[in-house]
């Protein structure tokens, strides 16, 4: 977190602050954790995209993987696939993802699930004394008939 632009957090959150964040988001949206041998190696979640009621069927998704996660790409596919499946079953229509740039691995993961680039914002984040771009991607969800996304 302190050494990457993958997240715009500028300081490591205290465990109780992170737990509060999880509780606030998970009260309404899915928050998934992937563990291996008792260690958290990644998490993915959905959150409110916009607060106006007309946006209630659209969510923003996020995924974070430990840099040394074994089979990192597979971990991302497992987490994101499960998250998208849950969101589709819960009746959400659209998923928005914001990906800091450059981030080829995250872009490949999103494109692999069918996300398309919907916008690109130049220099909207500032971290490590540098301006950072963010790509916005979108995915339309269909409620799966077989329960599997």
Structure confidence by residue, pLDDT tens digits, 9-26: 667 667 787 678 778 888
Q: What is the pLDDT of residue 66?
A: 85
Identify whether the C-beta of residue 9 lies closer than 8 Å to the C-beta of residue 18.
Answer: no
Q: What is the pLDDT of residue 9?
A: 64
Give a yes or no: residue 73 inside a domain: yes
Give a yes or no: residue 57 inside a domain: yes
* Strand ranges (E), the chain: 31-36, 39-48, 58-65, 94-101, 116-127, 130-140
Distances (CA, A) of 44 to 131, 143, 148: 26, 20, 17
Could you give the CA distance from residue 112 to residue 126 in angstroms, rounded to a whole number? 28
pLDDT for 145 beyond 90: no
Q: What is the pLDDT of residue 107?
A: 95
**Tens digits of per-residue pLDDT, 44-73?**
999 999 999 999 999 999 999 888 776 656
pLDDT for 1 beyond 70: no
pLDDT category, 75, cuts 50, 70, 90? confident
Give a yes or no: residue 118 inside a domain: yes
Tally the domains of the chain: 1
Give a yes or no: residue 86 inside a domain: yes
CATH number at residue 89: 3.40.630.30
Range of the domain at 74: 15-140
Distances (CA, A) of 35 to 25, 70, 93, 126, 149: 20, 11, 29, 31, 21
pLDDT for 33 beyond 80: yes
Give a yes or no: residue 10 inside a domain: no
Could you give the CA distance from residue 128 to residue 11 in angstroms, rounded to a whole number? 12
Give a yes or no: residue 7 inside a domain: no
pLDDT for 32 beyond 90: yes
**Tens digits of per-residue pLDDT, 92-116?**
999 999 999 999 989 999 999 999 9
Q: What is the pLDDT of residue 142?
A: 83
Give a yes or no: residue 58 inside a domain: yes
Could you give the CA distance from residue 80 to residue 140 in angstroms, rounded to a whole number? 14
Give a yes or no: residue 26 inside a domain: yes
């Amino acid at each position: 977190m302190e050494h990457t632009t993958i997240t715009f957090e500028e300081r490591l959150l205290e465990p109780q602050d992170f737990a509060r964040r999880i509780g606030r988001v998970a009260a309404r949206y899915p928050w998934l954790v992937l563990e291996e041998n008792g260690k958290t190696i990644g998490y993915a979640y959905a959150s409110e995209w916009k607060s106006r009621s007309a946006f209630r069927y659209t969510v923003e998704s996020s995924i974070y993987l430990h840099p040394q996660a074994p089979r990192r790409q597979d971990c991302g596919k497992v987490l994101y696939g499960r998250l998208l499946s849950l969101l589709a079953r819960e009746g959400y229509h659209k998923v928005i993802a914001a990906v800091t740039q450059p981030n080829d691995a995250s872009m490949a993961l999103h494109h692999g699930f069918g996300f398309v680039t919907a916008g690109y914002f130049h220099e909207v984040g500032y971290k490590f004394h540098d301006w950072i771009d963010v790509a916005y991607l979108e995915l339309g969800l269909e409620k799966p008939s077989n329960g599997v996304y």
